[in-house]
Amino acid sequence: MNPLLPFIMAGDPSLESLPRLLAEAKALGIEALEIGLPHSDPIADGPVLQAAAHRAIQRGATPLRVLETLAGLTESPDLILFTYLNPLLQIGADRLMELLRPTPVKALLVVDLPDSEEVEFEARLRSAGYPMIPLLSPTTDLERAKGLLERRPDPGPGHPFAQRFAYVVARLGVTGTGSATDLKPVGERVAALQTLSSRPLAVGFGLSDPAALGAVRAMGATPVIGSALVQALAAGEGFGSFLNPRLA
Amino acid sequence: MNPLLPFIMAGDPSLESLPRLLAEAKALGIEALEIGLPHSDPIADGPVLQAAAHRAIQRGATPLRVLETLAGLTESPDLILFTYLNPLLQIGADRLMELLRPTPVKALLVVDLPDSEEVEFEARLRSAGYPMIPLLSPTTDLERAKGLLERRPDPGPGHPFAQRFAYVVARLGVTGTGSATDLKPVGERVAALQTLSSRPLAVGFGLSDPAALGAVRAMGATPVIGSALVQALAAGEGFGSFLNPRLA
Amino acid sequence: MRATNMNEGDRPLASLPLRPPRAPHSVSGHSPATASAFLLPTRFGAGGLGGCYAPETLMQPLLDLEEAFRKAVEDPSFETELKSELRHFVGRPTPLTSAPRLAAKLGLKALFLKREDLTHTGAHKINNAMAQALLARRMGKTEIIAETGAGQHGVAAAAACARLGLSCTVYMGVVDMARQAPNVARMRLFGTQVVPVEAGQGTLKEAVNEALRAWAARCDKAHYILGSALGPHPFPTLVRTFQTVIGEEARAQVLEQTGALPDSVIACAGGGSNGLGLLVPFLGDALHRFAVEAGGHGSALGEHAARLDGGRMGVLHGCKTLLLQDQHGHTAETASISAGLDYPALGPELAALALDGQIEVLRASDDQALEAATWLCESEGILPALESSHALALLPELAKRGFATVLLGLSGRGDKDLATYQSKLGI
Amino acid sequence: MRATNMNEGDRPLASLPLRPPRAPHSVSGHSPATASAFLLPTRFGAGGLGGCYAPETLMQPLLDLEEAFRKAVEDPSFETELKSELRHFVGRPTPLTSAPRLAAKLGLKALFLKREDLTHTGAHKINNAMAQALLARRMGKTEIIAETGAGQHGVAAAAACARLGLSCTVYMGVVDMARQAPNVARMRLFGTQVVPVEAGQGTLKEAVNEALRAWAARCDKAHYILGSALGPHPFPTLVRTFQTVIGEEARAQVLEQTGALPDSVIACAGGGSNGLGLLVPFLGDALHRFAVEAGGHGSALGEHAARLDGGRMGVLHGCKTLLLQDQHGHTAETASISAGLDYPALGPELAALALDGQIEVLRASDDQALEAATWLCESEGILPALESSHALALLPELAKRGFATVLLGLSGRGDKDLATYQSKLGI
Ligand SMILES: Cc1ncc(COP(=O)(O)O)c(C=O)c1O
Ligand SMILES: Cc1ncc(COP(=O)(O)O)c(C=O)c1O
């Protein structure tokens, strides 16, 4: 089981440091990593990721420059491009596939794209090897979850974690460290989902301290660490020094 | 024919100087004089008399103190008490008659009392020797003027000018010097009124320079000089020095 | 969902209860008919309040006005004109809003608000201003003069004049201009000249003084649109006649909504135009009628505008009525947080009805009015004018006295008072 | 004068044209019915605009909302409730005012103003806010979240919440809070918490971002009352459905007053709620329909909010529509003197109608809007909201093009904009 799924914001602290960060992650044994594409209107993000996106945009981290920076990188975990839909739509499916091909991106997590809305766009990306990661939230009942998991299916054990997992949102609201999340409900949710499929699950939103990460691992799921990591990196802390104590 | 009907505001410049002013007026040969009772809301007065009333009130020139100051004065022209109704109503007809008896007041000019409104009050004052002076304005047509003159009748040649005259307002608006009043319309008005009765007429509102006063005299009427005189007195000019050149 | 027809055009026509004052308080021994050239009663009640205490210059204009008024109300084309403006421009009929949450909070069974705050320009003043502007146009007048306190009458007159193409000058005390600044801006946007009146305490009384003076100077061309049920005859009758549309509507509405009359009806009273407008149509009914004056910040002369207890009979601005005055017959200073109630004289018809026991007059203090405004805001989502808040402030008293169903005249909206509410309530 | 009966109670009941989007622009190939759990059409026009681009957390709340909406509009008791509030609280029907002096000035034969400025709280926003608040109450929600730009939707939501006893939080950009300060005070008086949004340019877009985030955190207890015809399905349909009462009334009124339809109908468009509300009921008619966007102070990106020419298809705030954006798909800055039009996306249904040739979209600059406001003030005595002034500003263009009878949606009153009018017009 993948012990940790870190999230970083592309371009924060800087685009230049991104290749080094990714290499460091790989060296730490990180299998997959979510990389956020900074957006002007991150409606699902809390203050930490809003601010990180804002800084990154100010420093010129446009979608194209981010993808260019990723092109050709080999020393990197598998990447999940965490993004809002509009920048992808503006690039267009064809060009996007071209841009993704030379990068370590293995899947997309498009926060504001339900599987019903851009069926053709999504299908083309999927057949080009870029599946969309399903998101399940506390408001998603099991019935609905089943449909979501079916319509964004697990490509199967032959595929890397980055393309297989479903993202389970631990609490209502937006990304962010916030106050300590009560993990009991998400624990029950994870258990229920595990009866539905054997697909790997990641749990995110509000996780930061090692105890919480451990609790998620105890559920048999991969904890996501996002805002806390971004905040630490922005504060100048080293990637390894922050992640090491949280790696199981 | 009475050549001039001056108006002064009781209490302005001061109540103390009032007896001296009246004596001076008498010495100048002034037969009758309008004396204004300072009121809080002088709706028929322009800025000069408003300000004079305000100053007088500030200095304590209440109706009672004014009447007390006038009591017993013998060196004075006949006085016409120029006033608004409310202070008289508050004093009441009985008390008012008592207060007036020792003064040189011979008649009342109550700016806001049409003859229809306080018939009993007015009748009692009239029978006590205090008739109300009728006012005729540019908006009073001849028909109405006739009625007004009848309902506030001339007591007859045996009576002093102060009790006999009717006041012809020379122009629309309120008291005040203002711009030079065109005297042609009021001349026609005076001529027409002179065909109705032989009662003395005074013409006022907006008169100040000797030429205008002379023009009124040429109509066979008595010019009233009010705001200009009050302004001169307030500016420290002597009563005689201001009136002398205007006394025909 | 059934598609029934929501169509303003189908609303029944407005009734304009344009009729002379009611018999019980219309005749007075003080004013022998022989002496007055007026044809309508000029006096109210047993005490003969009202009258026409005007300088001679204004007498013929007042006689002309009465004649024009009498003719207009007999003329179906005036009715048509006025109804059309009231409906299509002013927004009449205004709703009668049931306020269940506020009623419950205050221990009442039911509370109904007559929503003059929803009229164009935001207060009942427009009913009268538009009617008089139409009258002025019929009289061939091209200029309008008006006074204003809260600015609502000034804004209403300014709007009516812009609408009819009449030029308009409004006199307003400098203190009122400061505390009702939004209304000054609104008048100016409507092309009206607002003349600051510095005299005295710089409030409504001085504005009326100055408007009367201006009218005397321009009465050949100008009509004076007086904004409350005060001044010399025929103004009190005119204004009241044009405002009873409030009560006529409200009475029909409450009957229609509940099948019964309320046990009490209440309105605030400055000069008395909205008070009479609401209450007069209920005079024949077996219910309690209340008017609320400004209690200001104290009970000494000068600290309030409560004329019933604080005033004596006197004459100001052309009429005889209850007047706050000193022992010399000089008008007293007044104080109220609400510019529209900050006036030393109670309108003569309202004063007469009070003295004759037809309407009970109470007072609410500045602080009570402020608090009452928050009740209505928080319980019903309606921001009342400070004037109207004085009526709201008496609701607990009515509940205490056992009244259960109350109809309240919400004379205007509180947008003009936002600065006061903000500073006094710390919003 | 005949005493006919002026009685609000006799007014015909409001029709609530609560029906799904019209066939011509309701079906889209982009959204296979199989994938969506929604039952109402989620897309508009040939281009398939709209949709539901929402984070998963909000999907179930949106599904629940659609279901509640569908049930409510089928439920006569909801119709009764809503009609009652619209009539007795909001003040519907609003008048249709003929503006003959302004028409003459601008060379039109006739001009009719649909007077949403006369609604309670002063703009059309209350139609939707009250309807959604009632819906929220039916859904058992106790908290309301809303965004606001001009503050009119915020005030409307605050009023509706106070009236129904719901707690309310409104998100508002700090720039908008400054330029629409009176509305901030009004919301607070109604007991609403106003949360300043500092992000970005501090206007409506950021307020929506923050409201969506707040809703995601509280969607178990809170309903989000979106204030314009935008956002994820079902909001555009919901808001538009609750606003077509404007055009339904106006259409019946103009027919009743003139016996004919006008040759053109025009409204301003921020998100598009008043535009759709007025124009949709005229879609089947042979006349010209116009919507007016904010031309701001220039034609470069960032200097205006004119999405039709300036925008490209994109997704913001849950829907696909014409969007002002840079080449990276980042939302562009916008500029307009009117907070209510200062938004980078045209509502999807309005954009679809524009692209499909049903509605012509024009723009008016800040300066044109300011000047147009003075026309209405001076010619008719009505102070328009800055938003509505944008529609007024295009009247000379319509006259030039040969249109003679125009019906204009006066979406709100200008009291909130007094400070801007004063400083820009030097009043
Ligand atoms: C909203 C409102 N209510 C009441 C009043 C008081 O006047 P009246 O007693 O004539 O109704 C005013 C006066 O300006 C006002 O603006
Ligand atoms: C008065 C007024 N008109 C128009 C608008 C624009 O919104 P919409 O396009 O949704 O009607 C607003 C928005 O706040 C407004 O307040």
pLDDT tens for residues A221-245? 999 999 999 999 999 999 999 999 9
| Per-residue pLDDT, D18 | 57
pLDDT tens profile D134-166 = 999 999 999 999 999 999 999 999 999 999 999
Using CA atoms of C146, C148, C154, C160 in order, give the dihedral in degrees to the nearest 10: -40
**Structure tokens that stand for D209 in this block:** 């971002």
Distance D149 CA to ligand 2 centre (A): 9
Mean per-residue pLDDT for B79-107? 98
| Per-residue pLDDT, B180 | 67
Same domain, yes or no, for D160 and D188?
yes
The CATH number linked to D104 is 3.40.50.1100
End position of a domain, from candidates D187, D211, D240: D240
Residues D208 and D343: their CA atoms lie apart, in Å, by: 10
H/E element, A71: none
Subunits in contact with chain D (3 or more CB pairs closer than 8 Å): A, C
| Residue D426 forms contact with C (CB below 8 Å) | no
Return the residue in C42, C49, C56, C322 with the most chain B beta carbons within 10 A, the one to mutate for interface testing: C56
Residues B215 and B198: their CA atoms lie apart, in Å, by: 19
Nearest beta carbon to residue D415 from set C117, C159, C415: C415
Residues D159 and C101: their CA atoms lie apart, in Å, by: 13
Same domain, yes or no, for C234 and C251?
no
Mean per-residue pLDDT for D20-42? 57
CB C108 within 8 A of CB C403: yes
Q: How many residues does chain D have?
A: 427
pLDDT tens profile A27-55 = 999 999 999 999 999 999 999 999 999 99
A112 and D53 within 8 Å at the Cβ level: the answer is yes
pLDDT for residue D306 is more than 50:
yes
Same domain, yes or no, for D219 and D114?
no
Same domain, yes or no, for C109 and C192?
no
Chains D, A in contact, 3 or more Cβ pairs below 8 Å? yes
D119 and C115 within 8 Å at the Cβ level: the answer is no
**Residue that the structure tokens 């649909």 belong to:** D114
Query: Cα distance from C176 to chain B (closest Cα, Å)?
Result: 18
Chain B residues whose CB is inside 8 A of the C209 CB are 41-43
**Structure tokens that stand for D19 in this block:** 């029906």
Same domain, yes or no, for D117 and D127?
no
End position of a domain, from candidates D200, D219, D240: D240
The answer to whether residue B188 is catalytic is no
Q: How many CA atoms lie within 13 A of C161 on its CB side?
A: 28
CB atoms within 10 A of CB B44: 25
Which residues sit opposite D384 in a β-bridge? D413
Q: DSSP letter string over D334-371?
A: ---SSGGG--SB--HHHHHHHHTTSSEEEEEEHHHHHH
Dihedral sign for Cα C12, C14, C17, C18, please.
negative
Nearest beta carbon to residue C182 from set D101, D115, D415: D415
CB atoms within 10 A of CB C361: 23
Same domain, yes or no, for C234 and C249?
no
Q: Which residues of B170-205 are buried (b: 16+ CB within 10 A; e: fewer)?
A: bbbbbbbbbeebebeebbebbeebeeeeebbbbbbb
**Structure tokens that stand for A22 in this block:** 């990714």
| Per-residue pLDDT, D50 | 98
Same domain, yes or no, for D343 and D388?
yes
Whose atoms come closest to the Cα of C242: which ligand?
Answer: 1
Same domain, yes or no, for C118 and C255?
yes
pLDDT tens profile C35-61 = 578 999 999 999 999 999 999 999 999
Residues B73 and B37: their CA atoms lie apart, in Å, by: 17
The CATH number linked to A77 is 3.20.20.70
Residues 108-127 of A with CB under 8 A from D: 111-120
Subunits in contact with chain A (3 or more CB pairs closer than 8 Å): D
Residue D18, classed as helix, strand or coil, is coil
pLDDT tens profile B177-224 = 766 678 999 999 999 999 988 999 999 998 989 999 999 999 999 999
pLDDT for residue C9 is more than 50:
no
CB C113 within 8 A of CB C395: no
pLDDT tens profile C221-247 = 999 999 999 999 999 999 999 999 999
Distance C211 CA to ligand 1 centre (A): 18
Q: Report if residue D252 sits inside a domain.
A: yes
pLDDT tens profile C167-176 = 999 999 999 9
Same domain, yes or no, for C221 and C333?
no
| Per-residue pLDDT, C427 | 86
Residues C54 and C44: their CA atoms lie apart, in Å, by: 17
Print the domain residue range for D393. 94-122+244-425
Chains B, A in contact, 3 or more Cβ pairs below 8 Å? no
Residues C83 and C74: their CA atoms lie apart, in Å, by: 14
Same domain, yes or no, for D357 and D236?
no
Distance D370 CA to ligand 2 centre (A): 16
Q: How many residues does chain B have?
A: 248
Distance D134 CA to ligand 1 centre (A): 33
H/E element, A79: strand A78-83
pLDDT tens profile D162-184 = 999 999 999 999 999 999 999 99
Q: Is the ipTM of this complex over 0.90?
A: yes
Q: At B208, which amino acid appears? A: S
**Residue that the structure tokens 């009611």 belong to:** C22
Q: At C357, which amino acid appears? A: G
The answer for residues whose C-beta is within 8 angstroms of residue D86's C-beta and 6 or more apart is: D14, D92, D127, D130, D245
Same domain, yes or no, for C326 and C282?
yes
**Structure tokens that stand for C58 in this block:** 């204004």
Of C26-30, C416-420, D409-413, the least confident: C26-30
Mutating to test ligand 1, I would choose from C237, C274, C363 the residue with most ligand atoms within 8 A of its C-beta, which is C274
H/E element, D274: helix D273-279
In chain C, how many domains are there?
2
Cα distance between the two ends of chain A: 11
| Residue C422 forms contact with D (CB below 8 Å) | yes
Print the domain residue range for A168. 5-246
Mutating to test ligand 1, I would choose from C268, C343, C388 the residue with most ligand atoms within 8 A of its C-beta, which is C268
Between chain B and chain C, how many beta carbons pairs sit less than 8 Å apart? 128
Q: Which pTM value belongs to this model?
A: 0.95
Same domain, yes or no, for D82 and D98?
no
Chains B, D in contact, 3 or more Cβ pairs below 8 Å? no
| Per-residue pLDDT, D420 | 96
